[in-house]
Structure 1
């Protein structure tokens, strides 16, 4: 009941509400949403809970209080309809307040703009009407008629225009005609300074630029109508003091307006009166502005250099003096003044400027712009005065001797540049003269003499120029500056030379005659030759400017010798090294002197020539000590420079032969100091024994020259004139000739044999007397370099360097270049060949050996490539724990220069390098025969004659004796020394040929003869057979024997332990037969438990094939039908390609486990997987393969061990087959091929024909899903689904992010 009554009351309240306007959006009192309040409360609670967690009681109280307040707000919102009218009332009041504000703003605008000329009498005409309007305005409720009433008030106070626009235009046009007529009448009396007369809108404007502008009009058409002055504008401006502000106050302009109007009314010619009145006022104002600017300048930066002599406003005169000079009475005066005045006689002229003293191009006042500047006048005047003063000084400098051009440069700051040392003077040696624009003083500077004690001379020269002294006084100072500048130039020039400046006090003790020389001198001492001094002196000369003299002193053995030199003569002819022939008295040179300024280059040349002559003198002394004959030092006639001709070295080189000295026709020594100190030692030798004849050389293409010119550059160690340098140069010359003499003897003996026989097998690349380079080989692509090494610590010896030479025939064929050797195989014999050559010094013996052995050594190069083989699986099966389970697959070791031993696993072979293009090969195993059937293998590649010769017991010895002869084309004296007789007879002389063969077990598969079982005696083969063996089949043969030698012991250990070192079931080997050429194992077949299944054996025969001499596999089955022939061939091919080449014995055990599986379809499926691994051509993202070995953590040991990948449980029901998936396309930047592989362990159940993944609960990829789908698809058939599962995984496998690859 109460709720109903309450609803009736609310309806009545809504009906009684007044009509209020609707509140638009975003108006009214501010509103906040309830959700925002709740969010704020939650945030506040979280904040207090975090900060004050320990005050739980206070937190509970504050939280309760906060939600009580929030509850109160919610209850209040339920009854908020009672307060909606408050928002409408507030909005209505705000609207009315805005009406008042807009009305007041409009009334103010009317009063200030439109009602300016309103008068009170207009309002008093109808006062009652206006009062009623005000009453209406006061009683308005909605204010809708306020705008209309304001418009009514505006219309009452502002009356409409009484003249139309057309009438106004007609009146103005007529008024312009009247003005034009009156101006035409008085035009001839108008001043020419009035440049602008503008008639427009009924008035005429007269303008005098820079002074004033006045506007006039006429209020009638009669001739007697007076002119009415409308406006006056003064155009005089000041931007230096007033910054462009108006110079005349508006009240002053008003006064001028009134006065000028009265004078116009009284004057007969009003236009002339206006001009005369305003022109005189403007000139007075301009002169006043200039005076104010001058006053500010005088008080500012030009206080000491400028003053105002006179300023008379009445007469219009302003006199300013600049460049003030201080007189004896401490007063300042100047002859330079500027007078600015106005002309009282000529009313049509502006301000005039007169300069004292008078000059050309001096500035005037430009009063046409109205912007006056006394600073600008002074600046332009000073620039012109400076230039005038510099021109006067230039005329004075031109009269000096010797004549030098004087240049005037610069506009804002003009300067004079006078080269003190002639046209070759640099910028720092120029006399630069300028004038100070503030004081007018002449400034002089020479950059090279700023930091020198000659500053007094410069100050004195400035004083002479300012005082305008005589030309004689100025020229004496100029001469003095030239001498000081030359001394400073020489001080800087000798910084990079081998001389030092010596104080005169120190030199006067050693040279008492120095006091007789001119006072302006520079004393220099040679750094490396401290007994020699060079003194340079200067004297003034009226014609040349100055004169230079040089004096060379030598203070040796308590004797002082002095020579007077002229610089020009020093450059043309140097003094003799013998100073005792000169007189101590000073005399003038007989040669006519030349003009010599002495710049840096000339001074350096003069000192260098003197130093060179001293250096040659020291070298001559050293050569005399070493019993070397030489001729006097001469000058090079063509290019200049000193030359020392050496005539005889026989006293210094007693070991050299007469033939060598007879071939040496010219030896000379020069000096080159252009970039660094170098002593070129030139030696010319004729009748060179060997010349270059390599195809493509200049001697082959053109005429052969047997004259050899060698130039050796000897670097000076301690300077060009030190004792160390002279000794070093002498030692280097003798060392070079020592090398020449030692190289000459073996080359001369080899020359006859080379041109008669050895040039068919080798070529000379270069012979420079200190180095011999010979190219040999079929393509001449191998080099031997012979040189003589002389060292202080060891005994001198011949040094051999072996290298390669680019094959000229294959330079453009990149494929053949890649196949060629990139090293010289004789490097293996380098040390032995070098010792042998130093012992015999026979090039014939060396080259014969290199020619005979290059082919077999190149063939053996295939075995020294770095190939590492892992022994991890072998050591694990044999229970061995080596520190590094890896070894080199092949290694070559040199026994001597004729015997090379090859170690290939357990196989040891020796290659005997004999003559006649043949090589002896034998088995040298320590424990017995290691290379079984070696003779059978070698006979496949030799000729029938060689094969039959090897069958004879004494064939090797017979051949050794028959091949010990030299080349028949050699001369008789060369046959005894021929290396063919030495090399061919020596290599096998110390070897025992009767080695008893060791016992071996013959292979049951074949029955070879006794000669084919082993070979301990040498077998002769030719070079072609060796090349064929090493390039094609030798690697397969040796690898097969090495693999069989490791596989047999490993299987024996595995059989003995009867476990595979893994938790998986071991393979029981029924039988095992091992021989050096055969391994036969028998394993039980994996037969599932069933009464119908019979047990069988799988027999694996790994043997060395007779035809191919390579490793083969044959699989036989006993008591069981074998699989298809194609599957067996796949297994055998897979064994040779992957199992054997991997070298992993545990992989062979896993492979044997796979051969035990003969269940229907499983053997064929594994064969298809092997075939896919060998030849995969499908376009799938993954490539499948078998993972034959796995890492396995066994027991509590921390080391992982290798276990077979393919395993079968005890019941022969479940088969573990690890499948490896590798990407078909390798990712960019991936270096490791197995980085992206995934191993999926598959388990195949032979009873249920199902394929699952091992530990499928840990797999997050889709492999289990794919396997389940394949299993369901083939669950109702008897076909093995293994291959189909593998094929599906190759196409559909998607690895997960957590899937990791299993390493093997």
Structure 2
């Protein structure tokens, strides 16, 4: 080094730099090759660990191979008979290939691939339904993550194969019945081996989703979900109104019962047969599955009882079994039994005795005379042939379905032999009789229940419950009669009526006449109102008074009916007509204020109800409250209110002579 010249040192330095640059350019490919080799060894080790776990699960496989077409390692699974139930042998016969891959590009994922032949059900909208015999369906599935121990990979493979096989076995047994008959009543929306989606109903807007849970701790490993989708009529219409009707799958009420039955038999044919036969009646009864509260504050005030939360359920619909539902409506219990032939049996199953007066006559009028009343000797009904019973379905399945069940086997409460048929009163007509025997109607008669605006059964049961509440209110009023209260006497009542007597002052002498509520007011002496006014009073009671659900409103209505002298009732009837049929061109809407809410003396927060129409202690002067509010159609945001107090003297003054004061709020 000491004897080297400067030129030699420079040449040696250039040579070292050239060799270092060549080694630096050669380094990265070698690193990549080394990383690839390490990854390949690591993948082989991972597959070896998976194979060890598969051996523990007694799952057969071939040696790990390299895929010649797409590359990468692949493990072919050859024998899963130790995992799959022997009842699912059809799944093993039709599984052409099952393999496990490893995807470590983004994260470590083990895709499980299954190639199936002879698929039992295909989506109805698929082009292969129109004649093509072969095809490939690729169902995208999330791979098995390898974030935990390797034994979870083998467990996940086993669980997926169990899920696929059980659903395949259920679908395979149903496929023959579906192709023969049920494809006219429902549609297969999806079958992806891990779940099945079927649309049913008249508009195909109800969904059944069947899935399987291998890790379920109990025996209910099959899971049923009921949903809704768009009706088929929307696809052909030019205008779509999604808010036209409320869509809700009424079979959600029966989920627990249907899931238990399906896990016991795993028979999809029986389940689908049940869904298509009970879709219409359950949809009609779904109105009563909604939560509706009703106030009981007025009755609590009449009985001087302090209730912290004076609310109660108006009605409650509860399934007893897969074909029987019980409706609790106040003190009334009704059972709806779904039968074959598009029929439903309805019976009064109230406690101790039936309470529905005129139940058979009500449905006879609702069905235009097509309903059938079953007497005690006809409870054992013969098998009714249903138009939706396919001949390809085994007879034992049809007999176990709702189409083969008789009424007597569905009664959750046995019929009372002493109350099979009785009359509510000695002189009542046959149309008002009460009976615990069922009445049979068709689905068309029950369909109006699905209309949320007007439900005939709801109005009928509400009227019976309202009469019972009035009975209690009149009894409480008679026990606590004092000055300024409604003076009642001679209270008579039954299941379908309440009859009372009230004093009426008619010049020149005082008479006591009888009025009926809610029946037609009887004619009072020589001052009886005309028939047109009586019809107005009846309509006002039905459309206004009963919908207030307030007993004090009934008391005010009775006081209004007592003003029969000198044609005063005709003027009141005109006000009632203006309230029920308001004119859109008028600025003011007039109404009779039947109930007042006042604060109790000594308590600022406590409020009590009072009648709006009040007589004095001598039953001579009467106070009538007339309320004026702006028309909500023309002035929706106006809260203006005027209250007109009218004092009418029934002995000395005529219909136009009164004392009036006007309050502006």
Q: TM-score, normalised by structure 1?
A: 0.46
- Which position in structure 2 is the counterpart of 1:1008? 429
Cα separation, partners in 2 of 1:925 and 1:951, compared to 1, 3 Å: closer
Which residue is 1:641 aligned to?
Answer: 72
Of 647, 656, 665, the match for 1:1279: 656
**2:540 corresponds to which of 1111, 1118, 1134:** 1134
The higher radius of gyration belongs to 1
Q: Distance in 2 between matches of 1:654 and 1:908?
A: 46
The change in CA–CA distance for 1:478 and 1:1165 in structure 2 (over 3 A counts) is farther
Other-structure match for 2:143: 714
Match of 1:104 in 2: none
Q: 1:1085 aligns with which of 491, 497, 504?
A: 504
Confirm or deny: 8 A CA contact 1:901 1:910 kept in the other structure: yes
Change (3 A) 1:1206 1:977: closer
Query: What is aligned with 1:684?
Result: 115
TM value normalised by structure 2: 0.87
Does residue 394 of structure 2 align to residue 1017 of structure 1? no
Tell me the residue number matched to 2:232: 808
SS across alignment from 1:548: helix
Distance 1:825 1:1085, change over 3 A: same
Please tell me whether residue 1244 in structure 1 is matched to residue 665 in structure 2: no
What whole-Å deviation, never above 9, does each CA across 1:357-389 have from its counterpart, x for those lacking one?
Answer: xxxxxxxxxxxxxxxxxxxxxxxxxxxxxxxxx
Report SS of the residue matched to 2:142. strand
Does the CA contact (< 8 Å) of 1:966 and 1:981 recur in 2?
no
User: Which residue number in structure 1 is paired with residue 89 of structure 2?
Assistant: 658
Instruction: Name which of 1038, 1049, 1052 aligns with 2:461.
Output: 1038
**Cα deviation, residue 873, structure 1:** 1.3
Query: Whose helix proportion is higher, 1 or 2?
Result: 1
Paired position in structure 2 for 1:191: none
Is residue 624 of structure 2 the alignment partner of residue 1204 of structure 1?
no
Q: How does 1:191-230 map to 2 (within 5 A)?
A: none
Instruction: Report Cα offsets for 1:848-890 as digits up to 9, x if no partner.
Output: 2222221111111122233222111122223433332222222
- The residue aligned with 1:977 is 397
Kindly state the Cα deviation for residue 621 of structure 1 after the two structures are TM-superposed.
Answer: 3.1
d(CA) in 1 for partners of 2:309 and 2:592? Answer: 28
1:620 corresponds to: 51
1:815 to 1:934, Cα distance in 2 relative to 1, 3 A: farther
Which deviates more, 882-891 or 702-711?
Answer: 702-711
After TM superposition, the structure 1 = structure 2 runs for residues 358-437 of structure 1, keeping only pairs within 5 Å, are none
1:473 to 13, 21, 33: 13
Counterpart Cα distance in 2 of 1:805 and 1:705: 30
Deviation, 1:839, is 1.0
Structure 2 CA distance for partners of 1:1065 and 1:753, relative to 1, 3 Å: same
Query: How has the CA–CA distance of structure 1 residues 680 and 923 changed in structure 2, closer, same or farther, with 3 Å as cutoff?
Result: same
CA positional deviation for 1:830: 0.7
Q: CA deviation at 1:664?
A: 0.6
Cα-to-partner distance string for 1:540-561 (whole Å, 9 max, x where unaligned):
54xxx543399xxxxxxxxxxx
User: Aligned with 1:676: secondary structure?
Assistant: coil
CA distance in 2, matches of 1:470, 1:987: 112
Q: Which has the higher contact order (CA 8 A, sep 6+)?
A: 2
Task: Give the aligned partner of residue 868 of structure 1.
Answer: 293
SS at match of 1:1043: helix
| Cα root mean square deviation, aligned | 3.6
Residue aligned with 1:547, SS: helix
Partner of 1:547: 26
Paired with 2:598 and 2:336, the residues of 1 have a C-alpha distance of 44
Matches within 5 A, 1:136-147: none
Post-superposition offset of 1:1145: 0.9
Structure 1 residue aligned with 2:4? none
* Unaligned stretches of 5+ residues in structure 1: 1-466, 483-539, 551-565, 571-602, 719-723, 1104-1112, 1251-1276, 1300-1304
Whether the aligned pair in 1 keeps the contact of 2:381 and 2:407 (CA below 8 Å) is no
Specify the SS of the correspondent of 1:845: helix
Q: Write the mapping of 1:59-458 to structure 2, written as runs, cut at 5 A.
A: none
Q: CA separation in 2, counterparts of 1:1248 and 1:1018? A: 55
Residues 1120, 1097 of structure 1: alpha-carbon distance in 2 compared, 3 angstrom cutoff: farther
> For residues 934-1013 of structure 1, what are the structure 2 equivalents within 5 Å?
934-942=359-367, 947=372, 950=373, 953-959=376-382, 961=383, 967=389, 969-970=391-392, 974-979=394-399, 984-985=404-405, 988-989=408-409, 991=411, 992-993=414-415, 995-997=417-419, 1001-1002=424-425, 1007-1009=428-430, 1012-1013=432-433
Contact 2:317 2:328 in 1 (8 A): yes
Runs of 4+ in 1 over 6 A off after TM superposition: 813-816, 1226-1230, 1247-1250
| Alpha-carbon shift at residue 687 of structure 1 (Å) | 0.8
Tell me how far apart the structure 1 counterparts of residues 220 and 254 of structure 2 sit (CA, whole Å): 21
Check if 1:789 corresponds to 2:213: yes
Write the deviation string for residues 1249-1268 of structure 1: whole angstroms up to 9, x where unpaired: 99xxxxxxxxxxxxxxxxxx
Q: Give the secondary structure class of the aligned counterpart of 1:780.
A: coil
**DSSP 3-state at the match of 2:622:** strand
The SS at the match of 1:766 is strand
Cα distance, 1:934 vs. partner? 0.8
Could you tell me whether the CA contact under 8 Å between 1:1173 and 1:1185 is conserved in 2? Answer: yes
- Which of the residues 1095, 1111, 1114 maps onto 2:510? 1095
* Structure 1 residue 1167: Cα displacement: 2.7
- CA separation of 1:1130/1:653 partners in 2, compared to 1, >3 Å: closer, same or farther? closer
| CA 1:775–1:1041: 2 relative to 1, 3 Å | same
CA contact (8 A) 1:1081 1:1099 kept: yes
**1:485-542: CA deviations, max 9, x gaps?**
xxxxxxxxxxxxxxxxxxxxxxxxxxxxxxxxxxxxxxxxxxxxxxxxxxxxxxx54x
Q: How many residues align?
A: 651
Q: CA deviation at 1:569?
A: 5.8
Match of 1:1123 among 505, 529, 552: 529
Deviations 1:940-970 (A, max 9, x none): 24476753xx3665334133x4559994622
Deviation at 1:629, TM superposition (A): 3.0
- Contact 1:963–1:985 (8 Å) recurs in 2: no
The aligned residue for residue 3 of structure 2 is none
Secondary structure of the 1:896 match is coil
3-state SS of paired residue (1:957): coil
2:179 paired residue number: 755
Displacement of 1:707 after TM fit? Answer: 6.1
CA contact (8 A) 1:683 1:711 kept: no
Secondary structure at the aligned position of 2:555 is classed as helix
- Structure-2 residue corresponding to 1:1148: 554
**Shift of residue 750, structure 1, vs aligned partner:** 1.8
Asked if 1 retains the 8 angstrom alpha-carbon contact of 2:590 and 2:626, the reply is yes
Q: Aligned partners of 1:966, 1:1187: CA distance in 2, in Å?
A: 55
Contact 2:337 2:410 in 1 (8 A): no
Q: Out of 900, 906, 919, which is 2:331 matched to?
A: 906
Taking a change above 3 Å as real, the CA distance of residues 717 and 1223 of structure 1, as seen in their structure-2 partners, is farther
In structure 1, C-alpha distance between the alignment counterparts of 2:274 and 2:582, rounded to whole Å: 51
Query: Contact 2:375/2:438 (CA < 8 Å) preserved in 1?
Result: no
- SS of structure 1 residue aligned to 2:523: strand
Measured against aligned partners, the alpha-carbon deviations of 1:968-997 in whole angstroms (never above 9, x if no partner) come to 6226xx223335567523663264445321
Q: Does the 8 Å contact 2:342/2:442 carry over to 1?
A: yes
What is the aligned partner in structure 2 of residue 1051 from structure 1? 474
Q: How far apart are the structure 2 equivalents of 1:952 and 1:469?
A: 125
Q: Give, in whole Å, the separation in 1 of the partners of 2:400 and 2:18.
A: 90
- 902, 906, 923: which is aligned to 2:348? 923
1:619–1:1279 Cα change, 3 Å: same
Q: Quick one: distance in 2 between partners of 1:1174 and 1:1218?
A: 16
- Within the alignment, does 1:703 sit opposite 2:132 as a pair? yes
